[in-house]
């Protein structure tokens, strides 16, 4: 069964350009993961510092591999001082 989620976070002022670069690299890395089916990062039209990231993985094992990835660990460590609250909020979704 696919694993579907979205993540949101808001970039602190002054870190916008660095976050764009980090997100572009993360997007390339995640899309190259064997079990990734979708990874699309958006910024809100009314607040370009607010990110919304849609993610779909083939199954829980693919998601767990994503969580354990080196590039994910580096991204999450790097953004701690760049985003409100030190990280993203993740919401898991179920099909209805």
Looking at the 3D structure of the chain, how many domains does it have?
1
- Domain carrying residue 65: 3-93
The pLDDT tens digits for 11-60 are: 999 999 999 999 999 999 999 999 999 999 999 999 999 999 999 999 99
pTM, two decimal places: 0.94
Cα gap 86→30, rounded to integer Å: 21
Identify the CATH number of the domain in which residue 65 sits. Answer: 3.30.70.100
Cα gap 66→48, rounded to integer Å: 26
Q: Residue 66: how many CA atoms within 13 Å on its side-chain side?
A: 26
């Amino acid at each position: 069964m696919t694993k579907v989620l979205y993540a949101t976070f808001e970039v602190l002022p002054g870190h916008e350009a660095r976050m764009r670069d980090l997100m572009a690299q993360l997007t390339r890395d995640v899309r190259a993961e064997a079990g990734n089916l979708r990874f699309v990062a958006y910024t809100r039209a009314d607040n370009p510092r607010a990110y919304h990231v849609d993610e779909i993985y083939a199954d829980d094992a693919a998601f767990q591999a994503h969580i354990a990835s080196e590039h994910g660990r580096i991204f999450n460590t790097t953004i701690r001082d760049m985003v409100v609250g030190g990280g993203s909020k993740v919401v898991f979704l179920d099909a209805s």
